[in-house]
Structure 1
Amino acid sequence: MSCTAKKSRFLNEEAILMENEYLEAVLVPGWGSNLISLKWKPGGLSLLKTPETKEEYDANPFLFGIPILFPPNRIDQGRFTYDGKTYQLPINEKPLQNHLHGFLHDKKWTLIKAEADDQKSMAQTVLHADEHPDIQSIFPHSFSIVITYRLEGKQLQMDASVVNHGKEPMPLGLGYHTSFRYPFNEKGDKAQCLFSLPTEKQWVLTDRLLPTGEYHVTEEFKTGRTAAGERLDDIFAAEVDQEGNSTADICDRLADIRLSYQCDSHFKHWVVYNGTSDDSDLLCLEPYTWMTNAPNLDLPHEVTGFQALGPREEAVMKSKIIIGGV
């Protein structure tokens, strides 16, 4: 199997091109370490929504590739308290008065290495929070995060390693705003493209899209449904298998492709989002280690997914996207 990992350009930005006989991926470290493109070569399909211009990307960077969310989704008024310390994140969703999607997605990450052998191609990036005064002003912790991307066979693997270098515990919430093209088929037939989630529990939201702490039971997302004809911006508690993983699926019959998005036990929730208009051409499946507004919810941490990383501790969170035929 021929695998490569080499420096490239994407919309005039420094990038890493990774490739094997099944997959081609483009990573842009300077755009928040965003894996901006993923292609399935046997079917000639682009799997992620990818911008055609820098202006299109800048207009809403969350809608392209796989942005890294830290912390994920919304924080009520951008404020929460943990371990006697109050955090105030910027209110960047002004209509709803929330903080949205954290503070790592717009930073320039550093490429550690990019290499390939006979079995896989890989790239690894790092961000050191100490090097970013704007992070320290709102989240005063010394930490680093390393993301390792691997193409191996028909899989894209993503490992996130977070290390707390400080002397105090730090809140830890991570997610991926994974923006898949929807549908994959060239006819644009959404009825032939179904997605499913391992869940029976959907969280009830306020008009500011924050969880109330209550949920209702639903079966419709477990068996497979289309994302057409309904606006989705919803939060679900993940159900895990015997190995502790949860897996979301997209199956497009016309494109003859099935995609499985598998995450380890750190990821306790999924968000499903499909844009703001009826002609939206994306479906975001977003795995989160903690649910929206987790630090402010009066629920057990084992339910919300809220966790803290102790001094000198490391957490490694693993996920992968597996592609094959229907």
Structure 2
Amino acid sequence: MTNIITITDASSHSLARIAVDVGFNCFEFQTVVNGQTVDVIASAEDFPENKEKPSWSGIPLLFPFPNRIRDGKYKWEGKEYIIPNNLAAHDGNGHAIHGFCFDRAWRVIEKGGNFVTGEFQLSVDAPDRLELWPTDFILTVKYELNSNRLQSKITVENPTDKPLPWGFGTHSYFKLPLGEKSSIGSCLAQAPVTKRWELIDCLPTGETISLSEENELIDGVYVDTVQLDDLFTGVKTTNKIVECLVMDEQAGLQISQRCDNSYREIVAFTPPWCDAVCLEPYTCPTDAINMQTAENNHGWQTLAPHSIHESWIDIQAGEIVV
């Protein structure tokens, strides 16, 4: 039986459900705005009992690399590493995908009525994958409900005596439409991005290109008019905060996803298997470990021994702000 934790906020009639055994995936966030019940997160009807496709529902947590590593191979400090498809997830083109944490069981280390904290340590929770990465790591995520806001605090910890290479991202599926009586045709996605990475088979070539009109996410695009699977950069911040929006004009509702400015890339994706849009904050681009150079690390991080890095992502439902 799947271990599911439910947290609630009585003042706003909000609830969130987290599948501890499937990547600590928050697969449901429901709240009330002006009497309207808003289901924020899209998930398959049989998730998380059906664990076959854990990256297709909810909010998958992508670590120690978001998205793909080309051919499942990389070099670090002169050593070549291979991530085989029998030990970690790969896409249909043979690239390692979405890290080591999204498809394994986590441990709950603290819980209250409106919050829960989960922890994943590579050597403890996926020891079969330990040799696939240069060091052990600990990823801690705290989900907390405050009114109609789902707050997440993310802590990366290096428990070893060696530098830890890492990147992190989330893969939120925002359910469309937001209103019970509206349609997907009234829904827009907006992200503060000015460029996108040129991709071949979902991997960056290293070049960034200007945005086409249909991908002008900075002004908002109607979701039913585009097919998105793009990696954007040139992220603009306001007071060091990155904000993406999903808006349902017919219902007068919006979802705001805000995060700190350590998230420098945004993936926008319209999944063909459900009515949703993904706006995914990443600390680095796809395949960043193979893109870094002496002149530019492209956001790829190295955490010193016995150090931590903290970041946050908040998701809030409310009325459209004009």
TM-score of the aligned structures, taking structure 1 as reference length: 0.88
**Residues of 2 paired with 1:95 and 1:282: CA distance?**
22
CA contact (8 A) 1:213 1:299 kept: no
CA contact (8 A) 1:238 1:246 kept: no
Which residue of 1 is the match for residue 112 of structure 2?
115
What SS class does the counterpart of residue 304 from structure 1 fall into?
A: coil
Percent identical: 28
Task: Check 1:32–1:188 CA distance in 2 against 1; reply closer, same or farther (3 A cut).
Answer: same
CA contact (8 A) 1:213 1:298 kept: no
Count of residue pairs the alignment pairs up: 308
Which residue of 1 is the match for residue 262 of structure 2?
266
Q: CA deviation at 1:15?
A: 1.7
Letter in 2 for 1:232: L
Q: CA deviation at 1:300?
A: 6.7
CA contact (8 A) 2:28 2:43 kept: yes
Structure 2 unaligned segments of length 5 or more: list them. Answer: none
CA contact (8 A) 2:47 2:57 kept: no
Structure 2 residue 119 is matched with structure 1 residue 126: yes
TM-score of the aligned structures, taking structure 2 as reference length: 0.89
Structure 2 residue 188 is matched with structure 1 residue 194: yes
Q: CA deviation at 1:312?
A: 0.7
Letter in 2 for 1:123: V
Which residue of 2 is the match for residue 160 of structure 1?
154
Which residue of 2 is the match for residue 95 of structure 1?
92
Structure 2 residue 40 is matched with structure 1 residue 51: no
Q: Deviations over 1:208-254 (max 9, x none)?
A: 11111112222711011112143211000152424222111011122
Which residue of 1 is the match for residue 308 of structure 2?
314
Structure 2 residue 68 is matched with structure 1 residue 79: no
Q: Deviations over 1:138-169 (max 9, x none)?
A: 12422211101111122111111111011111
What SS class does the counterpart of residue 188 from structure 2 fall into?
A: strand
Structure 2 residue 248 is matched with structure 1 residue 252: yes
Letter in 1 for 2:19: V
Structure 2 residue 105 is matched with structure 1 residue 104: no
Structure 2 residue 210 is matched with structure 1 residue 213: no
Which residue of 2 is the match for residue 230 of structure 1?
226
**Residues of 1 paired with 2:294 and 2:229: CA distance?**
23
CA contact (8 A) 2:192 2:237 kept: no
1:37 to 25, 28, 45: 28
**Residues of 2 paired with 1:17 and 1:160: CA distance?**
19
**Residues of 1 paired with 2:285 and 2:91: CA distance?**
20
Q: Let me know the Cα RMSD of the aligned residues.
A: 2.0
Q: CA deviation at 1:170?
A: 1.4
Which residue of 1 is the match for residue 288 of structure 2?
294
Q: CA deviation at 1:55?
A: 7.8
Task: Check 1:188–1:56 CA distance in 2 against 1; reply closer, same or farther (3 A cut).
Answer: farther
What SS class does the counterpart of residue 239 from structure 1 fall into?
A: coil
Which residue of 1 is the match for residue 6 of structure 2?
17
Q: CA deviation at 1:128?
A: 1.7
Q: CA deviation at 1:276?
A: 3.1
CA contact (8 A) 2:171 2:280 kept: yes
Task: Check 1:34–1:54 CA distance in 2 against 1; reply closer, same or farther (3 A cut).
Answer: closer
